[in-house]
Structure 1
Amino acid sequence: MVDRIERREDVDGCACLECRGVSAGVTRRRIGDVLLWAVGVLRNRRSILLVFLAVAAVQFVGFVGPPAVEVTLSFVVFTGGLFARSYAGTIVAGELVDRRYAPTTAAAHALRRLPAVVATLLFTFLSTMALTVVGVLAGAAVLFADSPVVTAAGIVALAVTVVLVIVVLVKFILAPEAVVVGGYGPIAALAVSWGLVSFRRRTTIVLVSLVVAIATAFAITEISAATATHPVVGSPPTRLVVLAGSSLATYLSGAITAIVFAHLYVQRILE
């Protein structure tokens, strides 16, 4: 049984730190302390590292295999990545409330919450796509309008759309943790994440930086795989080593990020 960590107003009974089994130090950790703590968790709870490395191995097999294998394994990598994040969140939540969940318990909970996590990401995708459509229409107005007024309005609308997409993505960044750790449904998780993430905090800058770092590492891995048949430099063994290294770095940073996200969710909920 995995306990939920919900907002105070959603808890039946006392929601103080003592009743939840959380030390006051958890709420006082700064982002630098959280990052160091995440490294310690990754070292002590090695099952998190193994799960992420397993997903990295599957992705690497897809890269070096034929296209049919890569397409087939891409679904496994996608769901495996979500499972890994959910698994890490469950383990971290247990560590923060002084409950050491067994790997089997955490894995079972992550699997149960996985459909809701997928639904949450789907709603996020639909929200950003709706805003993107508005941006495309604004861009079309800029390209085809003869009136300077319409062109100026289109440019402004396009800029606003880009900003809104970034805001939505950042504000919904803790929604998967709200699903897994808090036990919320997809829509409620989005609302919870929206309320927890503030642009006035330095923590938000770190969150965005972590996501950008992972996205960059993932992009490098994808580019390396896509250009493997037309390499710029290096022998085939060298390219395989580079590809494996970039994939490993991506998922190691992903493991740290998942731990940090789960900690920040719990920290914000308890504030």
Structure 2
Amino acid sequence: MEPIRRREDTHNCGCVRCRSVDAQLIRQSVGGDLLVGAVLTKRHPSVVVAALGLLIVTGLLDPLWTRIGQPVPVVDVPAKAIFFFGVLSVGIRAYAVTLFTASVSDQTVSTRESIQYCVSRLPALCATLVGIIAASFAAIGVASVGATVLFALALGVRALTGLTLVDDSVFTGASATLMFGSVMALAAFKFWLAPEICVGGGYGPVAALRLSWSLTPTHRLRLLIVVVGFAATVFGGDLLANALATIGSKNVLVVPSVIGAIMQVLLYIVWFAVGTQIYLRSVVDH
């Protein structure tokens, strides 16, 4: 597959027509992005099969997850979730973005060529994801230092004037989650498109992170919908299962749980497709 790069990084013309990118991509709304994402998912059933296969394998490995213990102590995240989202974020996402980029840019790519290109991008994609995680935790570190300095100043004010501005409860409970979680979410938001840029554009990790940071302000609303939608997809299944658990037995909930898991997987693929469209819209010259 031929990656779609920025105009300044191409030797030939970078216009929509010369790159065979559908001009409708530039003009369509957020709803259009979602519709095209659903169409692309239907057009490439191999992506769906791969994602559903991951879901089945993750379920079959339940004895292993039980043996490992829940959650994994170091990161406080269940091993099952680490495996599923790790493979989803690397393997499935790379394969989906490869096929979607080729499809939207009207490239004829065989399954073998798609897999070869996808595999060739995996090292760069893994490094990009590590960079996103590192940047997110670095943002938390900066926020922690800032909060500590402000807290020290507040203690100094209390010592001099007796006025209590804040107490150490800000570092615990809901306030800490809101403060530090918001910082991590902001960093993740700025770098959300980096995997699509890395795979669809063929860029290295540093360039992908830099481009994602610079492209985010231009497509803030679209990207916000993608990030919020993805988060809702991640947590929506558990919330729905808990709600259904209050009105039915576990046996009755087996079928709804399976259907819900399948719908979640399909939505993940759609969000990857929408992210790919946002990137392509950002770099083609119209």
- TM-score over 0.5 (shorter chain): yes
* Deviation of the 1:214 alpha carbon: 2.3
- 2:74 alignment counterpart: none
Distance 1:218 1:129 in 2: 26
Specify whether residues 104 and 200 from structure 1 end up closer, same or farther in structure 2 by C-alpha distance, changes over 3 A only. closer
1:132 aligns with 2:131: no
- 2:155 alignment counterpart: 146
- 2:194 alignment counterpart: 175
> Which one-letter code corresponds to 1:80 in the other structure?
V
Distance 2:79 2:180 in 1: 35
Specify whether residues 129 and 249 from structure 1 end up closer, same or farther in structure 2 by C-alpha distance, changes over 3 A only. same
* Deviation of the 1:137 alpha carbon: 4.2
Distance 2:237 2:110 in 1: 30
* Deviation of the 1:261 alpha carbon: 0.9
SS of 1:146's partner is helix
- 1:228 alignment counterpart: none
> Which one-letter code corresponds to 1:92 in the other structure?
F
- 2:224 alignment counterpart: 205
Listed as ranges, the matches of 1:30-41 within 5 Å are 30-41=29-40
2:87 to 64, 80, 86: 80
1:49 aligns with 2:16: no
1:22 aligns with 2:21: yes
Of residues 16-25 and 141-150 in structure 1, the stretch that sits farther from structure 2 once superposed is: 141-150
- 2:278 alignment counterpart: 264
Distance 2:224 2:79 in 1: 36
> Which one-letter code corresponds to 2:131 in the other structure?
F
SS of 1:18's partner is coil
Distance 1:254 1:205 in 2: 15
Q: Which runs of 5+ in 1 are unaligned?
A: 225-230
1:100 to 102, 105, 108: 108
Distance 1:240 1:59 in 2: 16
Aligned residues: 261
Distance 2:246 2:12 in 1: 63
Cα deviation digits, residues 214-245 of structure 1 (max 9, x gap): 23136559x87xxxxxx867544335434423
Distance 1:122 1:216 in 2: 23
Q: Percent identity over the alignment?
A: 23
Distance 1:72 1:146 in 2: 41
Specify whether residues 66 and 191 from structure 1 end up closer, same or farther in structure 2 by C-alpha distance, changes over 3 A only. closer
Q: Do the aligned residues in 2 keep the contact of 1:62 with 1:74 (CA within 8 Å)?
A: no
Distance 1:69 1:55 in 2: 19
Specify whether residues 200 and 236 from structure 1 end up closer, same or farther in structure 2 by C-alpha distance, changes over 3 A only. closer
Specify whether residues 151 and 129 from structure 1 end up closer, same or farther in structure 2 by C-alpha distance, changes over 3 A only. farther
Distance 2:24 2:106 in 1: 13
> Which one-letter code corresponds to 2:87 in the other structure?
G
Q: Do the aligned residues in 1 keep the contact of 2:128 with 2:195 (CA within 8 Å)?
A: yes
1:217 to 231, 236, 241: 236
Q: Which runs of 5+ in 2 are unaligned?
A: 70-77, 159-163, 171-175
Cα deviation digits, residues 28-75 of structure 1 (max 9, x gap): 222111111111111222112111111121222234766137888666
Normalising by structure 1, report the TM-score. Answer: 0.81
Distance 1:248 1:94 in 2: 25
* Deviation of the 1:265 alpha carbon: 0.9
Distance 1:69 1:160 in 2: 31
* Deviation of the 1:120 alpha carbon: 0.7
Normalising by structure 2, report the TM-score. Answer: 0.77
Distance 1:75 1:161 in 2: 21
- 1:227 alignment counterpart: none
Structure with the greater alpha carbon radius of gyration: 2
> Which one-letter code corresponds to 2:225 in the other structure?
V
- 1:114 alignment counterpart: 122
SS of 1:217's partner is helix
Of residues 251-260 and 70-79 in structure 1, the stretch that sits farther from structure 2 once superposed is: 70-79
Q: Do the aligned residues in 1 keep the contact of 2:65 with 2:79 (CA within 8 Å)?
A: no
Note the aligned Cα RMSD (angstroms): 3.3
